[in-house]
Amino acid sequence: MGEIILKTNDLTVDFKVKKNVFGKADRLSAVHNANIEIKKGEIYGLVGESGCGKTTLANAILGFVPITSGSFEAFGHTIDAKTGAAEWKDARRHMQTVFQDPYSSLNARFTVWQIISEPLYIAGERDERVLCERAAALVEKVGLSLTDLDRYIFEFSGGQRQRIAIARALITNAELIICDEPTSALDVSVHSQICNLLLDLREEFGLTYLFISHNLSLIKHITDHMAVMYLGEILESGATDEIFKNPQSPYTKALMSAILEVNPKEKRERIILSGEARSPINPPNLCRFAGRCGEACELCHNAPLPDFKKIGDDHFARCHLIGKGK
Ligand SMILES: Nc1ncnc2c1ncn2[C@@H]1O[C@H](COP(=O)(O)OP(=O)(O)O)[C@@H](O)[C@H]1O
Ligand code: SF4
Ligand SMILES: [Mg+2]
C-alpha cells in the first residue's frame, strides 16, 4: 500500500430544498468540507448513521450529484464543480460501484451476461462475443457458474445478485470500487460471504475499495483506514485499528459503545444518544453533534468546531475537548 489514488479536498455538497410557502430555497448541507485519502490496495471505510452523507460523498466522486465546492484528485485528474464532461469521464472510467440494493440496481430484463458486460458496452465494446467471453471469465470468480450466464435476475437470491453486481463492477478493470452498503439489503447469513468475496477479489485483482457502511462492526472487520461522519461532517479519521484502540470524538465513542458491549472483557458502557439531532438544513457553524453529545460544553454551542488535531501517527479527530484533558 502506498500511492494515494483518491484524495478529496474540502469536498462539499449542498442540495437546494424548498422550505416555506414562499418557495424560498434553503440549503441542505449533505457533505461539508470532507477530506479523505484512499491509498492503492486498501479498504477505506466511511461510517456513520443513516442520512449523514455517505452516499452523497460517493455520488459526488462518481459525478452523480454536483459538487458545490472543493475538489477531489483521482487518477491524474483534479475534479471540481467546473470540470468538463470529458475529464470527468476519464477519471470515472477507473471507478465502479456496487450498490446497496441488488434487487433494484440490476436490470430485470437483461440476462446475467448482459448485466455483467453492460459497463463494457457503455465504454464502447460492441462485439457480443467479446462481451459474453468477458462476462464468462468473471462469473466463476464471483462464485457463480457458467450456466448462470443466460438466466434472469429474478431467478437468483439477494446474495447471488450481489455477486453479479460485483462481477459487473470488475468488468472494465476499474481500480477503485465504491461499495455503498453492499450487504445491508441482504440476509445476515450472507454478509460474511460477500465480505470474504470482496477481500479475495482485492487480492486477486489488486483492487482498492471505498467501503460505505452504517455498521461499525463490519468497518472494524474489513477496513484499513476509516472516517467517521456525522451529519455531513467528518469528525474522526485514520487507521482503523488506531481509532478503535483510542477513539477521540464522543460520537465515535458512542458508536463503538454499541458494539463493544457484547465483549464481556470490555469495561466500556453503552452510550445512549439522547437529545435532538440538528437539521442538515442551514446548519449553524458549530459542531453538528452538539445537540446529542453527552460531553458538550459551552464552547460546543457557541464556537465553530476546531480543525483536526493529530492524535497518533495515523489518526486525526476534531472536537473541542481534544487536548483539554478529558
Ligand atoms: N438528491 C437529494 N436532494 C436533496 N437532499 C438529498 C438528496 N440526496 C440526499 N439528500 C439528503 O442528504 C443527506 C445525506 O443523505 P445520504 O448521502 O443519502 O446519507 P447516507 O448515505 O449516509 O444515509 C440526507 O439529509 C438526505 O436526505
Ligand atoms: S465538539 Fe463538543 S459537541 Fe462536538 S463532539 Fe466534541 S464535545 Fe461533543
Ligand atoms: Mg446511503
Q: State in Å: Cα 285 to ligand 2 middle.
A: 13
Instruction: Say how far apart CA 244 and CA 100 lie, in whole Å.
Output: 25
CB 68 within 8 A of CB 13: yes
Instruction: Say how far apart CA 217 and CA 306 lie, in whole Å.
Output: 28
pLDDT score, position 61: 96
Residue 281 half-sphere exposure, CB side, CA atoms within 13 Å?
8
Q: State in Å: Cα 55 to ligand 3 middle.
A: 4
Total-model pTM: 0.94
Q: State in Å: Cα 52 to ligand 3 middle.
A: 8
pLDDT score, position 210: 98
Q: How many helices (H) and strands (E) does the chain have?
A: 10, 13
Q: What is the 3-state secondary structure (H, E, C) of 210-242?
A: EEEECCHHHHHHHCCEEEEEECCEEEEEEEHHH
pLDDT score, position 263: 56
Cα distance between the two ends of the chain: 34
Q: Among all ligands shown, which has an atom nearest to the Cα of 180?
A: 3
Q: Looking at ligand 1, which atom is closest to the CA of residue 229?
A: 22
pLDDT score, position 268: 65
In this structure, the residue with its CA closest to atom 1 of ligand 2 is: 319
Indicate the top mutation candidate among 50, 55, 56, 230 to test ligand 1's pocket, ranked by most ligand atoms within 8 A of CB: 56
Answer whether 283 contacts ligand 1 (Cβ < 6 A). Answer: no
Q: Among all ligands shown, which has an atom nearest to the Cα of 291?
A: 2
- Grid look-up 456496487 returns 98
Q: State in Å: Cα 324 to ligand 1 middle.
A: 34
In this structure, the residue with its CA closest to atom 13 of ligand 1 is: 30
Indicate the top mutation candidate among 297, 320, 324, 326 to test ligand 2's pocket, ranked by most ligand atoms within 8 A of CB: 320
Q: State in Å: Cα 130 to ligand 1 middle.
A: 38
- Structural domains in the chain plus CATH codes: 4-94+175-317 (3.40.50.300), 95-174 (no CATH)
Blockwise average pLDDT, block size 10, the chain, 326 residues = 91 89 85 98 96 97 96 96 91 93 88 96 94 96 97 95 96 97 91 95 97 94 97 98 96 89 62 82 94 94 96 97 80
Ramachandran sector of residue 190 (left: φ over 0; alpha: ψ -120 to 50; beta: rest):
alpha
Q: State in Å: Cα 180 to ligand 3 middle.
A: 7
Q: Looking at ligand 2, which atom is closest to the CA of residue 290?
A: 3
